Amino acid sequence: MYDIRGTPDEGMQDDELWTMVQRQRCLLITTDKGFTQYRVVRHHGVLIIRLRQPNRHKIHYRIMQAMAQFAEIDWPGLLVVMRDKAQSSWQT
C-alpha cells in the first residue's frame, strides 16, 4: 500500500499516477471521478469514492464497505464507484 497524501507525489498528474499504480500492481483508491475512463482497460483495481459532502469519516466508511464486499482476488479488472447510497461497478 502506498499513500501519496502529504508526499511529494501528491498532486501528480493522473496519467503519471495511473502508470505508477499499474507498475506497482496496486488497487487505486481515489475521489477523482476522472479515473472512470480506465474502466475498459486492464488494471489492478480502482475504487472511486464520490460523496456529496465528503469528509474523512464518510470516505473511510465507504472504503471499508467496498473492502468488505469484494475480496482481494476480485479487484484486478474491477472498477467500483461508491456514492452516498449507491454503487456502480465494471469488470474488464
- Successive 10-residue mean pLDDT values, the chain, 92 residues: 85 94 96 95 97 96 97 97 96 93
How far is CA 88 from each of CA 42, 44, 67, 79, 81, rounded to the nearest angstrom? 18, 17, 14, 8, 5
Question: What are the residues facing 81 on neighbouring strands?
Answer: 48, 88
pLDDT value at position 76?
97
What 3-state class would DSSP assign to 89? Answer: strand
pTM for this one? 0.94
pLDDT value at position 3?
85
Do the bridges between strand 28-30 and strand 78-82 make them parallel or antiparallel, or are there none, so unpaired? unpaired
d(CA 26, CA 2): 8
Do the bridges between strand 87-91 and strand 28-30 make them parallel or antiparallel, or are there none, so unpaired? unpaired
pLDDT value at position 1?
66
